[in-house]
Each structure stands twice: as structure tokens, then as C-alpha cells.
Amino acid sequence: MLRPPTLARVLMRYRGKDYDGDGVTVAIIDSGINPDDPRLKGVDITGWHIQLGATGHAMLGSDFRDENGHGTEIAVAINRLAPKAKLVGVRIMDARLKTSADLMAAGIETATRNGSHVINLSLGTPNMGKALLLRDCCALAVEQGAMVLAAAHPKGERAYPADLPETVGAASHPDCPLEKFYYFAPHRFPPKEWGNLTGKFLAHGYSPPRPGTNQRGPYRGSGMATAYLSATAACLRQALPGESPMAITEVMRQIAFTPVPEIGYG
């Protein structure tokens, strides 16, 4: 029986060694994960489905299967760079990708309390009224040793949790190559000139290609960029198991390239 072709792996190299995310758990708060996708064959995948009851309490179920496909694409992207990481699908979206800030908060807290090391949200909300709720959940995650990575608004507007100080915010540009990522350090890119890119990472935004092809998948922007950065964070967590989330974030800033928009990102 022929095995389905696999995607080319791009392992992270740090201090002279390659890392693959072994021993690290990455929670994907999204539309779920399809564990039967051939691109995820052999990957350790578990998860939950979260709904809000009539009283606003979170209700957990065991069916984390993807009804849309978005979460599965995120999982494939993370697996491409961190193939040994355990994936946890936290389904908070319906088939049309509808969700709420309250469900995002419940997803972050559920992932934290169940031992996730890296928490990926390829989504966000512009609702400032929910920023404090999300900040409390992200602060709890960091306190428990987890990194939270979230997608910035695609038009540069405010988005939470990406714009919270406890969170690693991710943006994207079509020219960013997979093997590089950039950091808009505030001392080089002040908010007055660079707005919501200041303090953010910029990364590759294309979905992984289908097996057997060399073409890039569709451009998914900051959501896909967050996935690739989450895989990087997982590999760094493997390389630096005793370090805090803030320390690993600082390492990411140190190894990131400095953006030079005038000459592109290739």
C-alpha cells in the first residue's frame, strides 16, 4: 500500500542543532482539526469542542473535528515546521468560522489548564470591551508557562489578543519567505510612523502546498503567519525547556531579521 506523499519539512536550526518540537504541545484555537487529513498522518492530535451555555458558562465536548478546514490548514502549517509537536485542536468556530471573544477566552483558558506550551490563535477581535477579559486569560497562560501567539488585524487596525503585551502578535506580507521572519522593534519602528506593526513579527502567510506539488498554497495572511511562528516557538521551547515565555519571545526577537521595507522581504 502506498503511503500518501508528505510535505517537505523545514526544521528549525538554533545554536547549531535542528529542532522539531518534540515534547511540546501546541493548542490551535480555531475551527478544529481533521485528524484524518493525510498531511497529518502519524501526528499526535487530541482536542475539545467549546460552546457557551445559556448562562454564559463554557461547555466542553470531545468532538474537535474541523467543519470548515481552516483549523486543519493551520495544523498542517505548524506540523510542517514542528513535525514532532503534539497538536491540540480547540474548536470554538462553527462551519462558517463564526465565534466570539468569550469563546476565545474560554479556549485560551482550556488550553492553559490542560498543559499546552504554545497557544495559537489565527484570529482576533477589534472589540476593546473584551480586551481585559482576553488579557486576563493570556496573563494566566503566561504565568503557567505558555506562550500565546495571535494574528494581527489584516488592515492594521486594533485586534485582541494580538495587541496585548502578554501576546506575540503576528502580521504577514506576501513576499516573506518561509525560512525567515522579521520583528518591528519599537526603537526602530515607532508607533507614530508604523502604527500597529510596531512590536509585531512579520512572517510567511501562505498555506503549505498540497503533497506532490511545488506550488505555494493560497495566501492566508496573518493567520497563517501566526501558525508558522507558533511552530518556531515550539521548537525554541524544545531547545530552551527551562526558559519562561517572555524569555523565549525575547530570543525570537533576537534571531528575527530587521525589516527593510524599501528593498522587500525576500
Which domains, ranges and CATH numbers included, belong to the chain? 13-259 (3.40.50.200)
Close Cβ partners of 254 (under 8 Å, ≥ 6 residues apart): none
What is the rounded distance in angstroms from the CA atom of residue 122 to the CA atom of residue 114?
20
pTM over 0.85: yes
pLDDT digits over 91-117, tens only? 999 888 999 999 999 999 999 999 999
Mean pLDDT lowest among 8-22, 132-146, 230-244, 250-264: 8-22
Residue type, 48: W
pLDDT digits over 113-132, tens only? 999 999 999 999 999 999 99
Close Cβ partners of 39 (under 8 Å, ≥ 6 residues apart): 4, 6, 7, 76, 79, 208, 211
What is the rounded distance in angstroms from the CA atom of residue 171 to the CA atom of residue 182?
10
Give the closest residue to 36 by CA, choosing from 89, 85, 78, 82: 89
Is residue 125 helix, strand or coil? strand
What is the rounded distance in angstroms from the CA atom of residue 76 to the CA atom of residue 89?
12
